Structures are given as structure tokens and as C-alpha cells.
Amino acid sequence: MPVDATLVAVMTPRPHILVVNGRKVRQPVFVIGAPHSGADLLARALKHSPGFHVTVGQQSVMSVVYAFARSPSIQRGRGEAAATVLRDAFAQAWQVTAHGCLACSQACRDAAELNGTGACIAERDIRRYGDASPDLMYCAEGLVDAFTDARIVQIVRDGRDVVAAMLADAESLAWFKPGVANVDSEFPNPFFGIETAADLAAWPGLSLAGKCAMRWRGSVRTMARLRSSMPPERLTTFRYEQMIRQPAAATRAVSSFIEADLAAIGVRPRGRTGPMATQSGGWRRTLTPQQVTDVEQVAGADLRRVGYGD
């Protein structure tokens, strides 16, 4: 029995078109990864790329990101509603005004290397949008629903280096404080990497290194599921180590994926105790033998699965 073309048109949802600064948002680029995995490197390159307006940690976005990340149950089964909330958040974050950057997050201003009072990009120059906010990965499925033509770049880093960076970052450790970690009220809990009843039972006895490792483990598992569910023209994965060892090749590869010229990926030196050490393998000097053991017990299998087995 032939299907009426009009009926098919009615049943097929039309893609939502978001207009910001008088321009349609086409193929936005989102950068996701575990904490301290190198998303900031790519964010900085994107912000310096011609025609790109990329934000990092804007309040309108972060309020949604942490609402969804900390309480995933509120978006479960409500895909279209979650997509609408995300579109609204980015519509606000991407607005360009004469003094808009004064209200930007410090991370966003740092990525743009902005010291003055002006905007990081002129409205007339915008051709593409993007975002590389911390913990954006916990909204990845919603991003896919909200922007059906989005390009998502995943950054993976050796979990031991991630743990070392998290242990040196008070902001990362603050999530583990009693009264902040909502592991009892929200299960499963992707934000903390708790997937099973065994994970939940083990959580109270884990060291800080073990808890950081569980967060990393949960993030790489989430990214693996995303990769298996999305076509390669919409999602790609890069290693942090690849970006810092072969920045020119990584720049070319990202440019090809996003179909635009990416500014050179550069590594900015930071102090040894800074939250984002630039060297790979630094965990060998900073983690104690017991911390290495704790990470291995929690995430050893996943480290080897994604190629960090040495």
C-alpha cells in the first residue's frame, strides 16, 4: 500500500534552525572530553580561527550542563525538551554585544587572549559557532538532538595524567566533598563514573585518586558509546598526546573534519602544579606508588583498552 507523501512529511520532524546574531547556526563544533584532557588546547585554536565564535564556560551553558550532568534523570526520556533547553542556552551564550565579553567566563577570555573590553569577534565576521565548556560531554546526546548537523570532537588523554591533573586542581576535587557528591540520590551517575551497584558500593572506600580514575573511566566509556552510535563525518576522536607531539598534523586533521581552516594548535607552558600540565607521562613523577595502584584497580582495563597500557 503506497504511503501518502503528505503524511510522511507530517510524521517526519523538521530540523530546528537556530538563529543567533542574525545568522543561522550551521554545523557548530563542540569539543568534549574528561576533565583536563586537553579540550582547552582545541578551544584556543578554534577561537583564533577565521569566522569562528567559540565559547567556553558561559553561565547560560554551564547551568544547563551541570543540571544535566549531576541529575541525568531529568533529561532521560525527554530528548526534545533537553534539546530545546540546550539550544536556548547556546542562543544566549553566543550573543555578541559591544561589551558582551566583559561578562564572559575567565576561561573563555583566556582562550581568546582577551585583555581589553571589546568583543572577541566582530558580529559581521561570524560564520560558524562552537563551544568547549568543561564537562560538556555529559550533554553530548542532547547536543546531537539539538544540533543535528553538529561536529563533535572528542579528546582522550592518558587517564593517569588526567588523575594527576585533577589531584592538583582544587576545583576538580571540590566535587568529591560530602554534600556535593550526589552519588546516593542519583544512580547511575555518569558524572562520577558510577555505572553499577558494585561501583556505588566501592565509592565510599575509594581514595581521591580512585575517584578521579572512576570519573575518567566513565568519560571514556561514554565517548566510546557516542563513537559507536554516530557516523565518522559527525564525530571524531583525537588523543591529547597526538595534539602536543604533532600539532601541525592534528591541526590539518581537525581542519578536514570541521571543513574549515583551524588556527594552529599550540601548547602553552604552565607551572608543574597547574591544573593542565602540558607533558604526557607526567604522572610518573607526580603520582605516588599507592595512587598508581588505586588508578590501576579502578581503571586499568579501560586504560589498556584505549591504548594506555604501559
Indicate whether 162 belongs to any domain: yes
Select from 222, 195, 206, 130 the least CA-distant residue to 120.
Answer: 130
* Cα separation, 293 vs 304, whole angstroms: 15
Within a domain: residue 9? no
Question: Is position 120 within any domain?
Answer: yes
Q: What is the mean pLDDT of residues 273-288?
A: 73
**How many domains, in total, are found in the chain?**
1
Tell me: the pLDDT tens digits for 220-237?
A: 999 999 999 999 999 999
Q: Is the pLDDT of residue 26 over 80?
A: yes
**CATH number of the domain where residue 69 is located:** 3.40.50
pLDDT of residue 13: 46
Amino acid at 218: G
Average pLDDT, the chain: 87
Domain that holds residue 64: 26-305
Domain membership flag for residue 202: yes
Q: pTM here?
A: 0.89
Residue bearing the bigger pLDDT, 74 or 222: 222
Contact 80, 157 (CB under 8 A): no
Domain membership of residue 38 (yes or no) is yes
User: Which grid coordinates belong to 28?
Assistant: 557548530
**Does residue 6 sit within a domain?**
no
For residue 147, is it within any domain? yes
What confidence tier does 149 reach under pLDDT thresholds 50, 70, 90?
very high
Q: Is residue 18 part of a domain?
A: no
